[in-house]
Structure 1
Amino acid sequence: MEIIELYFYHLPSVDIEEVKNYFILNKVFNSNKIENFSRTKLCSLWFRYDSLSSKLSLSPKNLEFDIETSQRPTLKNANLDFNISHSGDWLVGAISSSRVGVDIEKINSNRDVKSIAKNFYSLEENSLLENDSNSYIENFYKLWTIKEASAKYFGVSILEYLSKGNQTPEKLNLLQYKFQDEYFITISTSLEKEVKLINLNKEIKLDIKRVN
């Protein structure tokens, strides 16, 4: 069975100066270019260049990317796909030999998720949520990560995906996880695959379990 590599970055623990030096030493970006990049953007680019260059045995500066109309980046001339998501304190990046989408969402009990569900979820989905009111918020986020990961798999915006009633041209394989007891992660692929977890912050233990 093929493998998806799922990388975890705990954003507050990342040494940003180390990341900046990585880009400068590898001649990917100059210091002026990256000086005002946010922590999240720097870590996202670090995942992209460091992980993919290692997988392809290339210098980071030799990686080439295309940008799809949805602003989804893809690798040029390589049989690898990748996708990135972040929420709260965590950024995750997925690498696969075939198309992949990933989404992570932190559970926010103060968010008005019922209004979002009524506007963007189907009647059937709303009914399922209402029938399990004790788990409404968790189930909302489980559904939302499925929608986001699927939209990212197809390279469309979440609004475009929702406007089509979640209809997709192919059946997707969805891998869903509860993470650190306050996040949900969904990986969307076309094939059944195993997932290899790669923790970039060894001092923080990953508490993750499959929920579907």
Structure 2
Amino acid sequence: MVEVYLCKLPHLLQQKELNFLLQGVSQGKKEKVSKLYHLSDKYRTTLGELLVRFLYERKHPSQPMCTFTQNAYGKPYIKENPSSFFNISHSGEWVACAFHDREVGVDIEEVKDKQEDVAKIAFTSEEYERIMKEDKEYFYELWASKESYVKAVGKGFTISPDTISVKRNDEGATFVCEKERHEIQDFFCKIYDLEAYKLAVCAERTSKEEFLPPVVVSFAEILSFLT
């Protein structure tokens, strides 16, 4: 099954609280957070790793996770259990995480205005024309879907997003390789509406029935996990 989890940032962001949260993340994550300017970005980045640690230890209480590793393109894996696949995304006030027993990618996007400059380079000409006619939610559905796919494949945007198109339907989305004009069979994407956000989860060799509804993990649970 594809498990999807969400954690909302606290209403009040405090440096003292962030310092406490940082005690539970890897040295590499601490260094990354130290280079960020905005306190909200620091929180989101820190919570991403903490959410994975919290969920993994809850799923594997006898095999606590110690170390993150990554592939050549930067996709993270759990060194102690590389067959437990996960992915993280964050936007606005939400951090999202997905777990699967095969490759998985997740992307959450706060719905704002259409980004026409992004649309011109990230979408096919047919997609671009429709985006310009549709409301802004359609833009973010397609964008989140594409990003979840390239994250699931594990190569990020070394796969140019305009080389794949999204085939949207009521059940979710599949993808078409534009160069070879064939449907990509190995990945299915589920799209969720979350208040003013679009959440897309793409998983390998999975049907729509295998996607579980998102579960919210409270910020209080994360704090409790660290004490």
Q: Scaled by the length of structure 1, what TM-score is found?
A: 0.75
**Aligned counterpart, 1:206:** none
- 1:114 equivalent to 2:112? Answer no
**Aligned counterpart, 1:49:** 53
Q: Which amino acid aligns with 2:127?
A: E
**Aligned counterpart, 2:140:** 141
**Aligned counterpart, 1:11:** 9
**Aligned counterpart, 1:187:** 201
Note if contact 2:70-2:76 (Cα within 8 Å) is conserved in structure 1.
Answer: yes
Q: What is the deviation of 1:128? A: 2.5
- 1:84 equivalent to 2:91? Answer no
Partner SS state of residue 95, structure 2: strand
Q: What is the deviation of 1:119? A: 2.2
Partner SS state of residue 186, structure 2: coil
Aligned pairs for 1:1-212 (under 5 A) are 2=1, 4-13=2-11, 21=20, 24=23, 36=34, 38-58=42-62, 60=64, 62-78=65-81, 79-109=83-113, 111=114, 113-130=115-132, 133=133, 135-158=134-157, 160-162=159-161, 164-165=163-164, 167=177, 170-180=185-195, 182-190=196-204, 191-192=206-207, 193-201=210-218
Change (3 A) 1:73 1:125: same
Unaligned runs of at least 5 residues, structure 2:
37-41, 166-176, 178-182, 221-227
Unaligned runs of at least 5 residues, structure 1:
204-212
Q: Tell me the C-alpha RMSD between the 2 structures.
A: 3.0
Deviations 1:20-57 (A, max 9, x none): 55764x7x658xx5894821122012112111122122
Q: Scaled by the length of structure 2, what TM-score is found?
A: 0.71
1:116 and 1:15 mapped to 2: Cα distance? 30
Partner SS state of residue 127, structure 1: helix
The alignment covers a number of residue pairs equal to 190
